[in-house]
Amino acid sequence: MLAMLPVEYLGTWVGLIGLVTTLTILAILRVHLGLSLLITAIVTGIISIGPRGVLSVLVETSSNIQTLNLIFITFMILVLIGLYKTTNQLSRFSESLRLLLRSSKLAITLLPTILGLLPVIGGALMSAPIVDIEGKRLGLSVGKRVFVNLWFRHIIMVIYPLNQALVLTATLSGLNLWEIIIRQIPIALFMFITGFLLTFKGISGCSVQYKYTSEREDRLRLKLLLEFVRLLSPIILAITVALVFKLNLAVAILLGIILLSYLAKPTLNSFTSILRDETLYLTLLAAYSAMLLKNIVITSGIPEVIAYFISQSGISHIIILTILPLTLSLLLGLVSSGIALAIPLIQGITDISVREVSLIYISSYLGYLSSPSHLCLIVTTQYFKTHVTIGHRYLIPLSILTLIFTIILYYIWY
């Protein structure tokens, strides 16, 4: 392969090998994503553009407005979610939703979906007990219960503007976040409908219903609904302000934080515990390192090497847009990893619009869903006391169907 490359590409090719090798080793060692991307960017840069080149890209990335905006948005998202956790609003949110959804079918599908609005690490554990109870009522197998808890929790992430991976995708590609979201609404609907049909295939009769039989219980239901809306209002405010008034997403989330602070009355300890959490800083590091890696990759000329290889091998561009990000996320167990690597590589091969970016994002996300390193999958299977691949008999076929649907959408929706 090296013999096929022009001489001027050899150093860059070695840099590409260093990138893949470094990232793979760090993933095996379970090094945090932020540190992995930073180390990989520096190693790749030193190999391909030298220490001075790395320093130059480092300064440029640190002062870039896109980088600063990404870090600011990520910080605001983490503070908002942290406030939900430290003020116990997260558990109240889950409980009010559970009591409000009086149908087993609604509870088992909508609860994980709506709880996906609060993307905390290992958050699948919040919905797992309800999925377990209601799944048993409906006669679902353990494999289906694992699938339901994982699949429906992540559907919302395809179109959720406060999803860090989606924000990262928009920032790396330079495209409008809302354009990507609009593009992916049909995909989210497809995922929900097909997931619903697969889940209840062979389940005879209606879902188990819990009817309110008295005026007192009707009042209780209204109270639960109002409580649910109240708890969700900071997120609704942030999304509405950003979408309707075109306000910067970080500022919109800040307004959500202010409203949540008013509603939850957090103590000073709540804020200090959020700011003391190392996860916050490691996640911010991941956002910064993703931008640094992108700039290192582009400056080093790695996309040109890949473009040359593709032109010589005749590989279809649709394979690159799907298999590359899917494989990266599957192996690394983090959707942000696949996106952070795939987008800058593909940008050097071809011009990308919202069509290509959506295909890259969905491919990355589907690979991440099935990854044995996916934390939500791990905690779900631990809760159900079963092995990590038991839900894959449902997860993989539906992921393939979703990818096919996304590819069809790519060709028919310009």
Model confidence pLDDT, tens digit, residues 215-237? 666 677 778 778 878 888 888 89
b (16+ CB within 10 A) / e for 269-297: ebeeebeeeeebeebbbbbbbbbbbbbbb
DSSP annotation of 386? S
Q: Which tens digits make up the pLDDT trace of 160-172?
A: 888 888 998 999 8
Q: Which tens digits make up the pLDDT trace of 284-308?
A: 888 888 788 878 887 887 767 776 6
Q: Which tens digits make up the pLDDT trace of 366-389?
A: 988 887 667 677 777 777 878 777
* H or E element that contains 234: helix 215-244
CA distance 268 to 280: 17
According to DSSP, the residues that pair with 103 across neighbouring strands are 209
CA distance 96 to 68: 37
Q: Which tens digits make up the pLDDT trace of 120-155?
A: 555 576 677 778 877 887 888 898 999 998 899 889
**Which tokens go with 383?**
């809760």
**Which tokens go with 223?**
């109270």
CA distance 340 to 347: 12
Q: Global pTM? A: 0.74
**The pLDDT of residue 122:** 54
Residues 380 and 129 sit within 8 Å (Cβ to Cβ) = no
DSSP annotation of 176? -
* H or E element that contains 412: helix 392-412
**Which tokens go with 266?**
């957090």
CA distance 162 to 160: 6
Q: Alpha helix (H) ranges present in 265-371?
A: 268-276, 278-300, 302-313, 317-332, 335-347, 354-370
Count other C-beta atoms under 10 Å from residue 400's C-beta: 11
